[in-house]
Amino acid sequence: MRRLTTTVALVASLVFAGGAAVAAPQSAGSEVPRARTASAALPERLVAHGSEDVCNYTIKRPTLKAGSSGSAVQQVQCYLNNAMTRADLDEDGDFGPVTHSATKRFQRCAGITVDGTVGAQTWSFLVFWANSTDSVC
């Protein structure tokens, strides 16, 4: 019975005091490090694809790698041009060495797997950053 009474008292103090009853005050010299927030670097608004998307070659999102070609490669090249500074890719639909290098640079800057292949993860980050007012790098 004593354990139940103690538990009820503890729960009540937490509920009515908002949790402050068990929080120890910080000394003036000890600061708790705050988590970094990248909110300033994140786009304000995201458009997946469509009439407001910055690039409109295609809505298809196939896996692309060196040697791929077509409108999906043009879409990637357009996204890379809009997501990064100094990408300056020709949007010619040819996934050659320059597009491969730009893809790897983008992946490094975005903090995702760096393999030079545009799969689901890279597509997602490309759409996100290309439609941002900021550059990923």
Residue 58 has pLDDT above 90, yes or no: yes
For the residues 23-48, what does the mean pLDDT come to?
A: 43
Position 114 confidence tier, pLDDT thresholds 50, 70, 90: very high
Is residue 136 one of the residues assigned to a domain? no
What is the span of the domain harbouring residue 74? 49-130
Residue 52: band (very low, low, confident or very high) from pLDDT cuts 50, 70, 90: confident
Determine which helix (DSSP H) or strand (DSSP E) holds 108, and give its type and residue range: helix 97-110
Indicate whether 18 belongs to any domain. Answer: no
Q: What is the pTM of this model?
A: 0.65
Alpha helix locations (H) across the chain?
A: 2-17, 71-83, 97-110, 120-130
In a domain, 14, yes or no: no
Domain contains 31:
no
Here the CATH number for the domain that contains residue 76 is 1.10.101.10
- Of 2-6, 63-67, 77-81, the range with the lowest mean pLDDT is 2-6
Q: Is residue 83 part of a domain?
A: yes
How many structural domains compose the chain?
Answer: 1
Eight-state DSSP code of residue 50: S
Tell me the per-residue pLDDT of 10-31, one tens digit each, with 9 for 90 and over: 444 434 444 444 344 344 444 4
Asked whether residue 26 is assigned to any structural domain, the reply reads no
- Residue-wise pLDDT for 72-87, tens only, equals 999 999 999 999 999 9
Q: Is residue 69 part of a domain?
A: yes
Percentage of the residues of the chain whose pLDDT score is greater than 70:
63
Residue in 57, 44, 40 with CA at minimum distance from that of residue 132: 44
Q: Which residue has the higher pLDDT, 56 or 44?
A: 56
The answer to the question of residue 44 being in a domain is no
Average pLDDT (84-93) is 95
